[in-house]
Structure 1
Amino acid sequence: MFSNRRTLSLGKTELIPSFFVLKGIPGLEDVHIWISIPFSLMYVITVIANCLILFIIKTEARLHQPMYVLLSVLAGIDLALSTSSLPKAIGIFWFKLEEIRFDVCLLQMFLIQYLGSIESGILTLMALDRYIAVCNPLRYTAILTNTLLAKMVVIVLMRSAVLVSPVPILLKRLPFCNSNVIHHTYCEHMSVAKLACADITVNFVYGLSVSLFIGGIDVPLIALSYALILRSVMNLSSKDTRAKAFSTCTAHVCVIAVFYTPFLFSVFIQRFKNKVAPSVQITVANIYLLVPPMVNPIIYGVKTKQIQERILKMVCRGKVTSDQKN
């Protein structure tokens, strides 16, 4: 279990775990196999729905616009975010594959936080996109060029990397000389940190600060964008025009609500969880990784006319092909 050692400056040694043991959802071990059914179903839906969105945007020329480019980035992130955690959780539930190597655990932790941070940034860029589309429709393509869009996405990627990279580094410096059992379905930052036999105040403060910093920047920017959109739309004279302007933002507003609600619950429950049952904490943490990646492509598929039309065209084409074969 603790096969690796490192020597300290005072001549003492600390043990480093070669692996951790993920125990799934504590208190619900007897029903893990039943919990795995909705987990597996949601993961399959997530993969199919997001791959479909990516395929449609890539093959449909009229969807090669900033809004849909950002949507394709969001779909890619959702695929990566769910894949970084759910297959391991399903392996725990089905086959008792509970062991995860120390470095792989740190990598999983980094990816989950990194991708979640990127998704928050992309949602902010999508709010900016909607602001320009509604408030400056005639200058939309002139303002939001492909070059500017690429630069903004790179900034989001770099911001997330800079903020999240210290998390696994701070963990790796800690001595782990007690249990290596993590009562969770994936390597969540504080669940791992609490196994250390050392002061983890820095880890706690930094982890919470990153979450609050990202939320403290992105949420106000999204709120400001929609406040300006609302003001602009309410100044329109035609009721039909107002309804059309609002409809272009409906899908994005739904996605924002789906993402930030479990995200905020997960952040605060994990750090102030003395009064919350562990099974509830871990379930909420998994909802954050399960629900948004599955629901996002469905929302855009239902609310976006161009994507609806392409899906219907694919379905009708498949039906015609099937009828011809018969």
Structure 2
Amino acid sequence: MATLSNISSTPASEFLLICFPSFQSWQHWLSLPLSLLFLLAMGANATLLITIWLEASLHQPLYHLLSLLSMLDIVLCLTVIPKVLAIFWFGLRSISFFACFLQMFIMNSFLTMESCTFMVMAYDRYVAICHPLRYPSIITDQFVTRAVAFVVVRNALFSLPVPILSARLRYCAGNIIKNCICTNLSVSKLSCDDITVNRLYQLVAGWTLLGSDLILIVFSYSFILKTVHRIKAEGAAAKALSTCGSHFILILFFSTVLMVLVITNLARKQIPPDVPILLNILHHLIPPALNPIVYGVRTKEIKQGIQKLLKKL
């Protein structure tokens, strides 16, 4: 394993990722649970995608949106975790400038794409419960196509300036990134230029995108709860809420891990510096690993589809 002194002598044509600077000796132990979570996330999402693709009864708008969520999870995992494991196992800490800024763009854009997908899924549940008779005419395949285009274009365009602003900086304060991944602030603080614009843009863009999605999700569920409260038929309210249960749990996973990450970054001086690094990695692993499992366990149609798939193997 290369020492920090050897790493410092590497030419500045690339960045060097130093995971957990204070705990270099036990990184290989951490790689075991991370590897298992990575395999679980990849396997569960791949199984869900194949099931939805092969099962004709699942060719419905809601499951198309769930497929989009699984694809976003797979890309996020592949963008972050293999490099982290390569650092832990083989000490491959170097990453080219282009690869670093590409990773930064994918992380920022796909994270907000996930949030936007949750918002579209919340609208789907709102229409299904509050306007059930109009659902087939509103939530169509054409709606899903437009929604996917909106999710991709909006978040890619708003996230693109983040790596561009970082790439235009002059890096003269070393090339060692004290992180496992190329986050905007971890990279830009190595520059000797003013990074106020970088910080301000990420803050405004991030909270605008994620905040607007969260507000619309809250509005959707407030209307859903109001409608459910008015339902008088026995068992109808519970059935209506059960259709939202899986989606709500997924939002809870996503927002809770993200909120903990934000809080720990704000309280950086009060906690060890390695804690935000670990939480950042887990945020790219825990939701992707749990999302398909929650839908697979709680949704009868998906469960039956997976059982049919397993019988064919």
Distance in 2 (CA, whole Å) between partners of 1:270 and 1:83 is 24
Query: Is the contact between residue 51 and residue 309 of structure 2 (CA under 8 Å) also seen in structure 1?
Result: no
Aligned residue pairs total 305
CA distance in 2, matches of 1:215, 1:161: 13
Q: Encode CA deviations 1:141-198: one digit per residue, 9 max, x unaligned.
A: 1111111221121111111111100011111111111211111111011000111112
- Unaligned stretches of 5+ residues in structure 1: 4-16, 319-326
SS in structure 1 at match of 2:284: helix
CA–CA distance in 2 between the matches of 1:207 and 1:266?
15
1:271 positional shift: 5.2
Q: Could you tell me which of 39, 55, 73 is aligned with 2:50?
A: 55
| Gap change, CA 1:80 and 1:158, over 3 Å in 2 | same
Q: 1:136 aligns with which of 114, 131, 137?
A: 131
Q: Distance in 2 between matches of 1:228 and 1:24?
A: 45
Correspondence 1:174 to 2:181: no
* 1:298 maps to which of 293, 296, 304: 293
Q: Which residue of 2 aligns with 1:266?
A: 261
Equivalence map 1:1-326=2 (5 Å): 17-270=12-265, 273-316=268-311, 318=313
| Contact 1:121-1:156 within 8 A present in 2 as well | yes
* Corresponding residue SS for 2:232: coil
Select the structure with the greater relative contact order (CA < 8 A; seq sep ≥ 6). Answer: 2
TM-score norm. by structure 1 comes to 0.90
The residue number in structure 1 matching 2:5 is none
Distance in 2 (alpha carbons) for counterparts of 1:299 and 1:25: 31
Deviation digits for residues 235-283 of structure 1, max 9, x if unmatched?
Answer: 1112311111010000000000101112233245335522221111111
Letter of the 1:90 partner, please give it: L
| Cα distance between partner residues in 2 of 1:166 and 1:117 | 14
Check the 8 A contact 2:112/2:210 in 1, yes or no. no
The AA in structure 2 aligned to 1:136 is: H
Distance 1:254 1:135 in 2: 20
| Alpha carbons 1:108, 1:187 under 8 Å: kept | yes
Q: Which residue is 1:322 aligned to?
A: none
Distance 1:206 1:2 in 2: 31
**Structure 2: which amino acid aligns with 1:80?**
V
Sort the Cα spacing of 1:194 and 1:155 in 2 relative to 1 into closer, same or farther, 3 A.
same
- For 1:276 and 1:42, the matched residues in 2 are separated by 25
Percent of aligned pairs with the same amino acid: 39
For the residue of structure 2 that corresponds to 1:20, the secondary structure is strand
Q: Which amino acid aligns with 2:282?
A: I
Aligned partners of 1:38 and 1:170: how far apart in 2? 35
Residues of 2 paired with 1:317 and 1:155: CA distance? 36
Contact 1:208 1:267 in 2 (8 A): no
CA distance in 1, matches of 2:187, 2:311: 50
Distance 2:50 2:272 in 1: 41
User: Over the residues paired in the alignment, what is the CA RMSD in angstroms?
Assistant: 1.4
Structure 2 residue matching 1:213: 3-state secondary structure = helix
Once the two structures are TM-superposed, the CA of residue 21 in structure 1 deviates from its matched residue by 0.4
Cα distance in 2, alignment partners of residues 148 and 36 from structure 1: 42
